[in-house]
Amino acid sequence: MIASALRPLAAIALVGLLGSIDGCLQSGEPSVPLQPGEPAASAEGTGTVTGITDGDTLRLDVDGTELRVRLVGIDTPEVYPEVECFGPEAEDALATFAPRGSTLSYAYDREQRDQYDRELMYLFTEDGTFINYELVAQGYAEALVVEPNDLYYDDFVAAEREAQSQGLGQWGQC
Protein backbone atom coordinates (compact mmCIF):
# COMPACT_ATOMS: atom_id res chain seq x y z
CA MET A 1 0.00 0.00 0.00
CA ILE A 2 1.18 3.55 -0.62
CA ALA A 3 2.56 4.85 2.65
CA SER A 4 0.51 7.85 3.78
CA ALA A 5 3.61 9.63 5.00
CA LEU A 6 5.30 9.34 1.60
CA ARG A 7 2.34 10.50 -0.48
CA PRO A 8 2.93 14.27 -0.01
CA LEU A 9 6.64 13.95 -0.76
CA ALA A 10 6.03 11.87 -3.86
CA ALA A 11 3.37 14.28 -5.09
CA ILE A 12 5.63 17.31 -4.60
CA ALA A 13 8.51 15.63 -6.40
CA LEU A 14 6.39 14.70 -9.38
CA VAL A 15 4.12 17.73 -9.80
CA GLY A 16 6.48 19.33 -12.30
CA LEU A 17 7.02 16.14 -14.26
CA LEU A 18 3.39 15.10 -14.39
CA GLY A 19 1.85 18.57 -14.66
CA SER A 20 2.23 18.50 -18.42
CA ILE A 21 -0.04 15.44 -18.81
CA ASP A 22 -3.11 17.11 -17.36
CA GLY A 23 -4.29 17.94 -20.88
CA CYS A 24 -8.04 18.17 -20.89
CA LEU A 25 -8.30 16.61 -17.44
CA GLN A 26 -8.79 18.88 -14.46
CA SER A 27 -5.61 20.84 -13.98
CA GLY A 28 -3.66 21.16 -10.78
CA GLU A 29 -4.21 17.62 -9.55
CA PRO A 30 -0.89 15.87 -9.01
CA SER A 31 -0.54 12.25 -9.95
CA VAL A 32 0.42 10.03 -7.05
CA PRO A 33 2.90 7.45 -8.31
CA LEU A 34 3.43 4.11 -6.70
CA GLN A 35 6.52 3.36 -4.72
CA PRO A 36 9.11 0.84 -5.95
CA GLY A 37 7.78 -2.67 -5.53
CA GLU A 38 4.14 -1.70 -6.08
CA PRO A 39 2.29 -3.09 -9.13
CA ALA A 40 3.59 -0.47 -11.61
CA ALA A 41 7.12 -1.65 -10.87
CA SER A 42 6.09 -5.30 -10.95
CA ALA A 43 3.39 -5.11 -13.60
CA GLU A 44 2.11 -8.46 -14.72
CA GLY A 45 2.00 -7.39 -18.33
CA THR A 46 1.12 -4.80 -20.91
CA GLY A 47 -1.65 -4.44 -23.43
CA THR A 48 -2.95 -2.10 -26.10
CA VAL A 49 -6.22 -0.23 -25.60
CA THR A 50 -8.74 -1.19 -28.28
CA GLY A 51 -11.75 0.71 -26.94
CA ILE A 52 -13.49 2.37 -24.01
CA THR A 53 -16.82 0.98 -22.77
CA ASP A 54 -17.51 3.49 -19.98
CA GLY A 55 -15.63 5.31 -17.22
CA ASP A 56 -14.39 2.16 -15.49
CA THR A 57 -14.35 -0.45 -18.26
CA LEU A 58 -12.24 -0.78 -21.39
CA ARG A 59 -10.99 -3.35 -23.86
CA LEU A 60 -7.32 -4.30 -23.88
CA ASP A 61 -5.45 -6.45 -26.40
CA VAL A 62 -2.98 -8.67 -24.57
CA ASP A 63 -0.90 -10.94 -26.80
CA GLY A 64 -3.57 -10.99 -29.51
CA THR A 65 -6.50 -11.63 -27.17
CA GLU A 66 -8.99 -8.83 -26.53
CA LEU A 67 -9.89 -8.67 -22.83
CA ARG A 68 -12.78 -6.83 -21.23
CA VAL A 69 -11.19 -4.98 -18.32
CA ARG A 70 -12.94 -3.54 -15.26
CA LEU A 71 -10.77 -1.11 -13.31
CA VAL A 72 -10.71 -2.69 -9.87
CA GLY A 73 -11.35 -0.66 -6.72
CA ILE A 74 -13.33 2.15 -8.32
CA ASP A 75 -16.80 2.90 -9.65
CA THR A 76 -17.80 5.64 -12.08
CA PRO A 77 -21.26 6.97 -12.92
CA GLU A 78 -22.98 4.89 -15.60
CA VAL A 79 -23.53 5.75 -19.26
CA TYR A 80 -25.65 2.66 -19.98
CA PRO A 81 -28.50 1.76 -19.83
CA GLU A 82 -29.25 5.27 -18.55
CA VAL A 83 -26.81 8.15 -18.43
CA GLU A 84 -26.01 9.19 -14.86
CA CYS A 85 -24.68 12.58 -13.84
CA PHE A 86 -20.99 12.79 -14.78
CA GLY A 87 -21.01 9.43 -16.58
CA PRO A 88 -19.97 10.85 -19.96
CA GLU A 89 -17.25 12.94 -18.32
CA ALA A 90 -15.87 9.87 -16.54
CA GLU A 91 -15.86 7.95 -19.82
CA ASP A 92 -14.01 10.84 -21.51
CA ALA A 93 -11.48 10.96 -18.65
CA LEU A 94 -10.69 7.27 -19.05
CA ALA A 95 -10.34 7.78 -22.81
CA THR A 96 -7.88 10.62 -22.13
CA PHE A 97 -5.76 8.50 -19.79
CA ALA A 98 -6.04 5.44 -22.06
CA PRO A 99 -6.62 6.49 -25.66
CA ARG A 100 -7.23 3.82 -28.28
CA GLY A 101 -3.88 2.40 -29.38
CA SER A 102 -2.02 3.34 -26.20
CA THR A 103 0.00 0.81 -24.23
CA LEU A 104 -0.91 0.23 -20.59
CA SER A 105 0.72 -1.85 -17.88
CA TYR A 106 -1.58 -3.84 -15.65
CA ALA A 107 -1.59 -5.68 -12.34
CA TYR A 108 -4.17 -7.79 -10.57
CA ASP A 109 -5.34 -7.82 -6.97
CA ARG A 110 -6.38 -11.13 -5.38
CA GLU A 111 -9.07 -12.08 -7.91
CA GLN A 112 -8.45 -11.80 -11.63
CA ARG A 113 -12.06 -11.88 -12.88
CA ASP A 114 -15.48 -10.73 -11.77
CA GLN A 115 -18.85 -12.47 -12.13
CA TYR A 116 -19.20 -10.99 -15.65
CA ASP A 117 -15.88 -12.57 -16.71
CA ARG A 118 -14.15 -9.18 -16.95
CA GLU A 119 -10.50 -8.90 -15.99
CA LEU A 120 -10.10 -6.93 -12.74
CA MET A 121 -7.02 -4.76 -13.20
CA TYR A 122 -5.07 -1.84 -11.87
CA LEU A 123 -3.94 0.11 -14.94
CA PHE A 124 -0.89 2.33 -15.46
CA THR A 125 0.12 4.59 -18.33
CA GLU A 126 3.57 4.35 -19.89
CA ASP A 127 4.74 7.23 -17.68
CA GLY A 128 3.55 5.40 -14.55
CA THR A 129 0.30 7.27 -13.90
CA PHE A 130 -1.99 5.04 -11.83
CA ILE A 131 -5.25 5.41 -13.76
CA ASN A 132 -7.59 3.89 -11.14
CA TYR A 133 -6.26 6.29 -8.50
CA GLU A 134 -6.34 9.36 -10.74
CA LEU A 135 -9.97 8.80 -11.71
CA VAL A 136 -10.87 8.88 -8.00
CA ALA A 137 -8.52 11.76 -7.13
CA GLN A 138 -9.97 13.94 -9.88
CA GLY A 139 -13.60 13.23 -8.96
CA TYR A 140 -14.53 10.99 -11.88
CA ALA A 141 -14.91 7.86 -9.73
CA GLU A 142 -15.51 6.76 -6.18
CA ALA A 143 -13.77 4.07 -4.18
CA LEU A 144 -15.41 0.65 -4.36
CA VAL A 145 -14.28 -2.43 -2.53
CA VAL A 146 -15.37 -5.85 -3.73
CA GLU A 147 -13.67 -8.24 -1.33
CA PRO A 148 -11.09 -9.62 -1.40
CA ASN A 149 -9.77 -6.98 -3.86
CA ASP A 150 -8.80 -4.22 -1.45
CA LEU A 151 -5.10 -3.56 -2.02
CA TYR A 152 -5.54 0.21 -2.63
CA TYR A 153 -8.94 0.74 -1.03
CA ASP A 154 -7.65 2.97 1.77
CA ASP A 155 -5.76 5.12 -0.74
CA PHE A 156 -8.81 5.38 -2.97
CA VAL A 157 -11.01 6.38 0.00
CA ALA A 158 -8.52 9.10 0.99
CA ALA A 159 -8.41 10.38 -2.60
CA GLU A 160 -12.21 10.36 -2.79
CA ARG A 161 -12.51 12.38 0.44
CA GLU A 162 -10.04 14.94 -0.88
CA ALA A 163 -11.90 15.21 -4.21
CA GLN A 164 -15.19 15.65 -2.34
CA SER A 165 -13.74 18.34 -0.08
CA GLN A 166 -12.50 20.26 -3.12
CA GLY A 167 -15.71 19.76 -5.11
CA LEU A 168 -13.84 18.09 -7.97
CA GLY A 169 -15.59 16.32 -10.81
CA GLN A 170 -18.89 14.70 -9.89
CA TRP A 171 -18.61 16.06 -6.35
CA GLY A 172 -18.97 19.61 -7.66
CA GLN A 173 -21.44 18.87 -10.45
CA CYS A 174 -23.93 16.26 -9.24
Rounded CA-CA distance 128/35 in Å is 10
- Bridge partners of residue 54, in order along the sequence: 57
| Catalytic annotation, pick one of 118, 119, 134, 142 | 118
* 118 catalytic per annotation: yes
| Catalytic annotation, pick one of 7, 59, 68, 78 | 78
* Strand 65-71 to 119-124 pairing: parallel
* 7 catalytic per annotation: no
Other CB atoms within a 10 A radius of the CB of residue 75 amount to 19
Cβ-in-10-Å burial (0-12, 13-18, 19+) of 11 comes to middle
* 68 catalytic per annotation: no
| Catalytic annotation, pick one of 70, 91, 134, 142 | 70
Rounded CA-CA distance 28/89 in Å is 18
Catalytic residues: 70, 78, 118
